Structure 1
Amino acid sequence: MTQLDQTFAALGDGTRRAILARLTRGEAALSEIAEPFEMSQTAVSKHVRVLSEAGLVRVSKRGRTRYCRLEAAPMKQAAEWLETYQTFWEGRFVALARYLEENP
C-alpha cells in the first residue's frame, strides 16, 4: 500500500479523525486521548496503531505512559492530491453558473 493509500485508509474512520483533531492541540497521553470515546483504551490503541502505521501519529513511551503526537506531513501529500481536483470542480461550478445565467 502506498503512503497516500495508507493516509486515506487511516482518515476513513471517524474515530481516527477525532484522534487527529485532538492531537492538533498538542501531544497527549493515550489515556487522555481515550477519555471522550465510549470504547476501551485497547480499542483506542488499535486506532492509534493504524494512525502510526500510516505515519500520521508518532508514539513515544515515557515510563509506563504512551504519548501520541501528530505528524501532519502525510496529510499534506493527501491535500496536494485532492488539490488537483479543485481546479476541475471550480471549472464545473463556473460552467454551471454560466448555464444558470443563460437559462433563467
Structure 2
Amino acid sequence: MTRDPGTGSVEEVLAALADPTRRQLLDRLAAHTSATATQLAGELPVSRQAVVKHLAVLDQAGLVTGHRDGRERRYQVRPDALADTARWLDHLAARWAKRLDAIKRIAESG
C-alpha cells in the first residue's frame, strides 16, 4: 500500500485506534468541523495535556490534522488514512470469506 505524505500506514492507524480514548477523540472530532484540545478535553474525562498527546498520535497516523488559529491549535479529521485501512480490512475479510467458503464446501461434500 502506498503512503501519501501525512497519511499513516495501516499499522500506525490500527495502533492509534487501539486506544479507546483516541477512538473517542476521533468520534468527537468527526462530530465537529474542527475543535481545539481544550474543547475536546471538556468532553472527555482526561486532561488537556493527555488530549494533546493523544492528538499527536492520531496526527502521526494521519487521522487528524491541526492548524494554528490564534493561540490555539484546531484539529480536524483526515479520512484518507482511515479509508486506506478500511480498504485493507475489506480485502482481508474477502480473503477469509473465500477460505471459509472453501472449508464449508469441503465439509459439506464429505
TM interval, shorter chain, is: 0.7 to 0.9
* 1:39 corresponding residue in structure 2: 46
1:88 Cα deviation (Å)? 3.8
- 1:6 paired with 2:12, answer yes
RMSD: 2.2
* 2:88 corresponding residue in structure 1: 81
Q: Deviations over 1:23-57 (max 9, x none)?
A: 11221121111112222100110000000111111
Structure 2 distance, partners of 1:10, 1:67, is: 19
Q: What's the TM-score, normalizing by structure 1?
A: 0.80
- 1:18 paired with 2:18, answer no
Identity of counterpart residues, as a percentage? Answer: 32
CA 1:95–1:73: 2 relative to 1, 3 Å = same
**Worse overlay, 80-89 or 26-35:** 80-89
Listed as ranges, the matches of 1:50-65 within 5 Å are: 50-65=57-72
Unaligned runs of 5+ in 1: none
1:95 Cα deviation (Å)? 6.4
1:83 Cα deviation (Å)? 0.5
CA 1:93–1:44: 2 relative to 1, 3 Å = farther
Unaligned runs of 5+ in 2: 1-7
Structure 2 distance, partners of 1:59, 1:31, is: 13
Task: Give the letter for the 1:68 counterpart.
Answer: Y
Q: What's the TM-score, normalizing by structure 2?
A: 0.76
Poorly superposed stretches of 4+, deviation over 4 Å: 93-96
